[in-house]
Structure 1
Amino acid sequence: MTRADLHQADGLTAEQVRDRVARGESNRVDEATSRSWAEIVRSNVLTRVNAIYLVLFLVVLSTGHLLDGLFGLLIVVNSTVGMVQEVRAKRTLDRLALLNRAQVTVVRAEGVAVLDPADLVRDDVVRLASGDQVPVDGVLLTTAGLEVDESLLTGESEPVLPAPGGRLLSGSVVVAGSGTIRATGVGPEAYAARLAREASAFRRPSSELRAGIDQILRYVTWALVPVAALTIVNQLWRADQGTSDALRGMVAALVPMVPEGLVLMTSVAMAVGVIRLGRRRCLVQDLPAMEALARVDVVCFDKTGTLTEDGMRVRDVDVLDPALPAGAVEDALATLGAAEERPNASLRAVLEHVGDRAPLPTTHVVPFSSARRWAAVRTGDGATWVLGAPEALLGDHPARDRVAHESAGGARVLALARATAASTVSAASTVPAAPTAERLPDDLVPTALLVLDQRVRPEARGTLEYFARQHVDVKVVSGDAPVAVAAVAAQVGLPGASVAVDARDLPDDPDALADAAEGAGVLGRVGPEQKRALVRGLTARGRTVAMTGDGVNDVLALKEADVGVAMGNGSPAARAVARIVLLDSSFATLPYVVAEGRRVIANIERVATLFLSKTVYSVLLALAVALSGVPFPLLPRHVTVIAWFTIGIPATVLALAPNREPARTGFVRRVLTSAVPGGLGVAVAAYGAFVVARSVVGPDQVLTSTAAFLALVVVAFDVLIGVARPLRPWKVALVATMVAGMALAVLTPLGQRLLVLDPTDTRVLAVAAGAALAGLVVRRVAALVLRRAVPGP
């Protein structure tokens, strides 16, 4: 098809459509609105901790003692928690994508048809009207006052007025008028599809918590093999046990070495945070996003959709003609607004300003035209009112100075002018103007100025104040003019709003853009590639960046940021790559999101001491037993019950408690500094009780295990009390309940039979008490030494 043919509005024949489909020139694109089912299952099931537990679970099954394999349920729980959340997010995003899929009108040789956007082909003639999203890249063939909003692509909120022959990009939105385009870029070649494809590669979410836990698990994995070998050798040959008992002893030694509860508690706490945020219409697509939010120290967002809402508002009406009767200006504005069949954003603001005021009777209407830049009505009394651009209506009126001042501040100014009955709105002297009239009345008198601002979100100021209190830097990164953005930012009290930078004057180098952002609160005229480079520059400096956006122009930066936050009413591409979606598109939700993330992470760090102290004492106890050549003092069921009452249940409650501590780096160092003393104290108590009991009561496995069990429990509860500080009444009740539960398990005949314990021998109780006291002393001495050796844990 030749260039001349592209400017003809003839439709394709059915045969031409089939040929283009066969050549792959259709608009069909595989849009990934979220991760696939296989990816979700694989990432949550094939984990290091699940692999370790599966091997140990199979070992226990080989012995026939199923009760000792209760820990195997953690494989199912660990996998399910993450999968449930991601599946929930996937279903929501897929449903949003389906609801936002609009039909398009296309001209074919057989006539006009309404099709799914995927059924368009190259060279199709597509009709566009106000409210339509441009489905493909194309060349404009015809226009009737067509105005296009390209903010989803460029960030520029001012509509553009393309001329025939101009190029329209997919993803832009028609805000006024109508027209037709010839499709030139379809499917993966379309601009929106190319941007989405560039951002679609899956990047594993960063997580200091997960990285720290994985680091610990790597060390544990390396330790498991030699410890298991030593334990097997010790249990089979040195301790002279049967194969079944030796394997059970090995599993009892190895299971508590794996901080499985920490992995599970991290997922559970994050999942609960996700549920809480869901009640605020906030969709979290992956659990590590909760942690990233807690660490955010820079928030970058666009002006449109965050600081401002769709549409405008009339801030001021300045009457220039004092001779006008009271209410005449409002009557004229109501009439002009009501006369428009499809009012644009400015006229909608005018209608909102006049409220329910009744319009005047009219004898003729000249609709608004982007080419004319004005609209006019003739009322029943013969007067003509014209509303439009000041430069078209004011002439040399002194009010032009006010227009220049308001425009410099980012406001939009309209002029209202009036002509007497002797004037006309067309070239004819008395004949009513036709809708295509291009000539203004000869004796127009400026009567009023209307100053319009973009509608500022009422919650924006409070949101920015919250971030300021939390020491989070806020940067407005917009495609609009810097002056206009700075004016809006100043209205809501953005720190640094007075410093605005035009990104067109900056190189695309990430470091240069980061320098500009560090010194300014507003960056205007920022393109998609620059947004991504800016995020890269900030993250390279160690900043944790949250990026909010709603358009295709934001997807690259959303994917690059530590946390991408998309608006629910934004483009499907933005929602697909973002880690958090604000379903109600409310900027005010962000403070709750950040606060919830900080609560979750602070609590996880608090309870991590419990889980890692178990890892420490398990490693020390296993090594001590292997090197000394004695049987392992505990059964796997002992380890499971101890973990329930001293770690698992209380950690679950503590992880969900209120907490306002800010997130900090150095998770592994701080937690290990707290966990090592507790683990050392527990290991000393358990091993000491077991060895002493063997010399006091003999090699009776039940009695010696009971001594080790009781001594271990006492010190473990001491660790729990330390983690729960500062003690509140509910925390005291929690610890008391756990102690009561453990006592019930140990002192009842059923519990003693199931756990294979005998606490009735006074010698066992005395040995356990002495060993527990020694463990408590060791714990406190070790904590004192570590506090002095490791600064600022």
Structure 2
Amino acid sequence: METSAAPDVDDAAASGLSTQEAAARLRAGEGNTAVSGSSRTYATILRTNVFSFYNTILFVIGATLLALGRYNDAFVSVGLGLVNAVIGAVQEIGAKRKLDGLQLLDQKSVTVLRDGVETELAADQVVRGDVLRVRAGDQIVVDGPLLDGGRVETDESLLTGESDPVAKAQGDDLRSGSLCVAGDGHQLARDVGAASHAGRLTLEARRVTTDKTPLQRRIDFVVRLTMVLVLLMSGAILAQAALEGFTLLRVVQTTAVLSGLVPYGLFFLIAVAYTRGAARIAGRGALVQQVNAVESVTHVDVVCTDKTGTLTTGRLTLKEVEPLGGTDAERTLGRFARSVTTPNLTTTALAAALPGDAVEPRDEIPFSSSLRWSGLVTVDGAWVLGAPDALAPHMATDLADAVASRTALGLRVLVLARADGPLRDRNDRPSLPSLEPVALVVLADELRDDVVDSIARFRENGVALKVLSGDDPRTVAALATQAGLDAGDPVAGPDLDALDDDALDRLVARTTVFGRVAPEQKERIVASLRRRGDYVAMIGDGVNDARALKGAHVGVAMRSGSAVTQDVADIVLVDDSFAALLPAQAEGRRIIDGLAVSMYVFLARVATQGLVILTVTMLGLGFPYSPTQVGLTLLTVGVPTFFLTMWARPEPPDPNLLGNLARFVVPTALITGAFGSAVYAALYVSISKGFSSGRTPAEAVEQFQRYTGLTATDADFVEASATIGAQTGLSTFVCLASFGLILLLRPPARIFAAWRDPVPDRRPAWLVAGLVVAFAAVLFTPVLSDYFGLTGPARPVFVIVLPALGLWFVAVSVVLRFRVLDRVIGYDQLPGKR
């Protein structure tokens, strides 16, 4: 550890703490320690994902089936729940690790006065009451006042969004997270750790705020509704089972089948679709960090964006040099820009645009926000470049009108002038002599190349844009106009503080441009838009945007922005172009379309199975499914929905998704359930009568003995044989009918276009053909048919199933094509439906 003698400090408090005092305060918890994580613990994440209400039911059923030796049934019952639990836990743990790693401060060493000498310490070793030395290039790590008579300038753009340095004098607060860009002084550590500005921002950024998307909420509603119906149905069926003296095994198997009706696989499908969508748009310039943002961005109807770094590149471009004297203004200005030893955005833009060779300066006054001018003394004389109002008292020429006409357009205006004397006073401090204006220099913030086109495309898609900036409202409004926005009357952030929520909502609704807005005001604007029912995306690049990003439905950060902003964002634009949100919207539409058609398939299967179970059970014909037969949903639902989601098109979301689901699912489930129950009953009665009459061939009796594990002399052999035979016929019918529903949802030809118009994509038709072949392989392969609890192929099954399938297709096509359900319930007579 290196130490050096401390300089003289005017303020007595700047003598610093002793080593013993600092150690005592550190032990007392008054140190500048990094804020701890505020997100959920790993144990909580695992517990809530693995032991959810639905998973708990499945685990109990699975454990009972294992105890009874029904290993296949147990695996089918709990497998999907475990997969969903793992996916959910992995995603949440990843988000937690990112949030817990957030730190606004870079934790480099700082200079502190200890025992009267300057000492280099790690930032987390600073304690309340310490005195810190602050120099140009240092990050401010605590909150507190500037002590001595020196002056410093801080860059607070990371905190406030304002790009201009802020001059600080004795007594002014320096805020943690800002950067000292000029000057030298001492600061008292008043607020440290979590109490400091940086600590509070970090804690706020770590707050877990994950919104469910509209599609997620709809699917969640459907699953919850299905669970309620399944619970009611389970109670009725199990009560009947108790009255009829069902065995424990039968009760557990029945419960496993009923729990399998819950379309929990939709959550798994969502995870797969979101992951694939995120991978697709990553190549288009958008890195997705919160997987549901892929779909969420589709619903956005208001985009709030910062100015610097989003609409603009952060660079300046030279628009005009108007000579005011006989000097070659452009070459003089170019020489000035190339000769400065401390270049800034302005001189960099001038050097790139103008001719002129660099010369060795004899003296230089660097630009500072307190002076608002810079000076250079060369062999050609003394030159000054600065703000017109800062130079005006020293010039005889009135430039006010020329300056005002350009600043009204949002342009930055500077004046290049020749000095008639030295640029320093007797005390060697910067001072302006009389000036002779040489040129009016007009610069503009550089718009990003794709901003104008992107804003136009957003407008075409019905998306409104609002600009929230820390810069002057007039400047921001002018830039917004250049970008193609109707800026209207800009509003300054301080004007919002006096407004209540209702007044704020009215103002936000009619305003496009907000300037001089603080982080809290950005957050209020986003909250106002959400209260109005808008779906909001917030784009930002600084820490000052983090709170608004957390409050929006979709938080979007720039790759060049702060690390904190990137970490809290749902999406990071890797090329710093919000044009990447447009392909993200298209990908989100693709996901919604795919998941919507998957919901049709899922719910049609659930409703059909539920109706068949109720009907068959009430008829007293056994139970129509076993847990292993439920595994066939891999063919009827799992595989089809996976591919249909992958092949979806970016079509506009259906605003009446739940209503249309009901209009499709109700009639198809009623018809399919009725035909399925009839098939089951016909086979059950036929097989029972065959065994009772003794007309069943010996070969068939032997096969059923193998299927059931019973002998023909057992008391329940006939019932078990009739049940498994009827279950095989039911499964065959329902599987083939489910494949037919795919053709109705994605019709390859006019004959299937009962629900919607034919689609040019032939892949769904080929998928159906493949599924038919796969099911045939299950039915005709003994190992597979035994695994799924089916009998082998039998002529009576096909004699009943195939004609029923033909009649089913005709019935479903007629009901859907002529919207019979709509007519029966009067749906087509509702306002706006005709």
Distance 1:393 1:520, change over 3 A: same
1:484 positional shift: 0.9
The answer to whether the 8 Å contact 1:499/1:522 transfers is yes
2:491 alignment counterpart: 501
Distance 1:732 1:112, change over 3 A: farther
Kindly provide the CA deviation profile for residues 138-179 of structure 1, in whole angstroms up to 9, marking residues without a partner as x.
Answer: 112357663223333333333221222211222223344444
- Which stretch of the first structure deviates more once superposed, 70-79 or 18-27? 18-27
1:14 positional shift: 1.0
4+ residue segments displaced more than 6 Å: none
Aligned residues: 771
1:234 positional shift: 5.0
1:650 alignment counterpart: 640
The answer to whether the 8 Å contact 1:373/1:392 transfers is yes
Are 1:11 and 2:46 counterparts?
Answer: no
Distance 1:470 1:650, change over 3 A: same
1:518 positional shift: 2.0
Kindly provide the CA deviation profile for residues 597-635 of structure 1, in whole angstroms up to 9, marking residues without a partner as x.
Answer: 332223211211111112111221121122111112232
**C-alpha RMSD over aligned residues:** 3.2
Q: How does 1:168-183 map to 2 (within 5 A)?
A: 168-183=174-189
Counterpart-to-counterpart distance in 2, 1:277 and 1:640 = 34
1:719 positional shift: 1.3
The answer to whether the 8 Å contact 2:99/2:205 transfers is no
1:424 alignment counterpart: 422
- Which stretch of the first structure deviates more once superposed, 181-190 or 139-148? 139-148
Q: How does 1:671-690 map to 2 (within 5 A)?
A: 671-690=661-680
1:6 positional shift: 5.8
1:248 alignment counterpart: 253
- Which stretch of the first structure deviates more once superposed, 589-598 or 226-235? 226-235
Unaligned stretches of 5+ residues in structure 1 = 429-433
Distance 1:122 1:313, change over 3 A: farther
- Which stretch of the first structure deviates more once superposed, 264-273 or 57-66? 57-66
| 1:53 aligned residue (39, 42, 58) | 58
Kindly provide the CA deviation profile for residues 421-450 of structure 1, in whole angstroms up to 9, marking residues without a partner as x.
Answer: xx433458xxxxx8x4433344x4322222
Kindly provide the CA deviation profile for residues 296-333 of structure 1, in whole angstroms up to 9, marking residues without a partner as x.
Answer: 11111221232123343333332322443873332232
Distance 1:550 1:52, change over 3 A: farther
Query: Which secondary structure state, in structure 1, belongs to the residue aligned with residue 790 of structure 2?
Result: coil
Query: Which secondary structure state, in structure 2, belongs to the residue aligned with residue 415 of structure 1?
Result: strand
2:386 alignment counterpart: 388
Counterpart-to-counterpart distance in 1, 2:559 and 2:410 = 27
| 2:71 aligned residue (46, 66, 72) | 66
| 1:438 aligned residue (422, 430, 435) | 430
Kindly provide the CA deviation profile for residues 632-672 of structure 1, in whole angstroms up to 9, marking residues without a partner as x.
Answer: 2232222212x112211121122123532233555433333
Are 1:616 and 2:616 counterparts?
Answer: no
Distance 1:351 1:50, change over 3 A: farther
1:411 alignment counterpart: 411
Kindly provide the CA deviation profile for residues 171-221 of structure 1, in whole angstroms up to 9, marking residues without a partner as x.
Answer: 223344444322222122223333454565434523333333333333333
1:136 positional shift: 1.5
1:728 positional shift: 0.8
Are 1:754 and 2:759 counterparts?
Answer: no
The answer to whether the 8 Å contact 1:257/1:619 transfers is yes
Distance 1:667 1:159, change over 3 A: farther
Unaligned stretches of 5+ residues in structure 2 = 1-8, 689-718, 748-758
Distance 1:45 1:187, change over 3 A: same
Counterpart-to-counterpart distance in 1, 2:642 and 2:332 = 68
Counterpart-to-counterpart distance in 2, 1:703 and 1:177 = 90
Aligned partner letter, 1:267: A
Counterpart-to-counterpart distance in 2, 1:419 and 1:250 = 93
Q: How does 1:83-94 map to 2 (within 5 A)?
A: 83-91=89-97
| 2:265 aligned residue (261, 268, 293) | 261
Distance 1:450 1:47, change over 3 A: farther
1:415 positional shift: 1.6
- Which stretch of the first structure deviates more once superposed, 69-78 or 26-35? 26-35
1:372 alignment counterpart: 371
Query: Which secondary structure state, in structure 2, belongs to the residue aligned with residue 377 of structure 1?
Result: strand
Q: How does 1:20-59 map to 2 (within 5 A)?
A: 20-32=25-37, 36-59=41-64
Kindly provide the CA deviation profile for residues 696-752 of structure 1, in whole angstroms up to 9, marking residues without a partner as x.
Answer: 333533432221122111211111222334251222222222222122222234333
Aligned partner letter, 1:524: G
Counterpart-to-counterpart distance in 1, 2:24 and 2:10 = 18
1:522 positional shift: 0.9
Aligned partner letter, 1:320: L
The structure, 1 or 2, with the larger RCO (C-alpha pairs under 8 Å, 6+ apart) is 1
The answer to whether the 8 Å contact 1:712/1:772 transfers is no
The answer to whether the 8 Å contact 2:337/2:348 transfers is no
Counterpart-to-counterpart distance in 2, 1:600 and 1:102 = 44
The answer to whether the 8 Å contact 2:218/2:658 transfers is yes
Q: How does 1:259-408 map to 2 (within 5 A)?
A: 259-279=263-283, 282-324=286-328, 327-335=331-339, 337=340, 339-340=341-342, 343-354=343-354, 358-379=357-378, 381-394=379-392, 395-408=395-408
The answer to whether the 8 Å contact 2:141/2:176 transfers is yes
1:766 positional shift: 1.6
- Which stretch of the first structure deviates more once superposed, 623-632 or 452-461? 452-461
The answer to whether the 8 Å contact 1:502/1:524 transfers is yes
Are 1:546 and 2:552 counterparts?
Answer: no
The answer to whether the 8 Å contact 1:148/1:161 transfers is yes
Q: How does 1:622-701 map to 2 (within 5 A)?
A: 622-641=613-632, 643-698=633-688, 700-701=722-723
Distance 1:188 1:99, change over 3 A: closer
Counterpart-to-counterpart distance in 1, 2:468 and 2:155 = 18
Distance 1:711 1:326, change over 3 A: closer
2:460 alignment counterpart: 469
TM-score when scaled to structure 2?
Answer: 0.84
The answer to whether the 8 Å contact 1:205/1:289 transfers is no
2:699 alignment counterpart: none
The answer to whether the 8 Å contact 2:102/2:202 transfers is no
2:593 alignment counterpart: 602
1:583 positional shift: 5.7
The answer to whether the 8 Å contact 2:321/2:439 transfers is yes
Counterpart-to-counterpart distance in 2, 1:273 and 1:135 = 40
Are 1:188 and 2:179 counterparts?
Answer: no
The answer to whether the 8 Å contact 2:152/2:180 transfers is yes
Query: Which secondary structure state, in structure 2, belongs to the residue aligned with residue 362 of structure 1?
Result: coil
Query: Which secondary structure state, in structure 2, belongs to the residue aligned with residue 161 of structure 1?
Result: strand
Distance 1:209 1:539, change over 3 A: same
Counterpart-to-counterpart distance in 2, 1:707 and 1:183 = 80
Are 1:451 and 2:449 counterparts?
Answer: no
Query: Which secondary structure state, in structure 2, belongs to the residue aligned with residue 83 of structure 1?
Result: helix
The answer to whether the 8 Å contact 1:157/1:480 transfers is yes
2:715 alignment counterpart: none
Are 1:785 and 2:790 counterparts?
Answer: no
The answer to whether the 8 Å contact 2:152/2:184 transfers is yes
Counterpart-to-counterpart distance in 1, 2:219 and 2:370 = 63
Aligned partner letter, 2:768: V
Query: Which secondary structure state, in structure 1, belongs to the residue aligned with residue 167 of structure 2?
Result: coil
The answer to whether the 8 Å contact 1:89/1:284 transfers is no
Are 1:763 and 2:796 counterparts?
Answer: yes
1:489 positional shift: 0.9
TM-score when scaled to structure 1?
Answer: 0.88
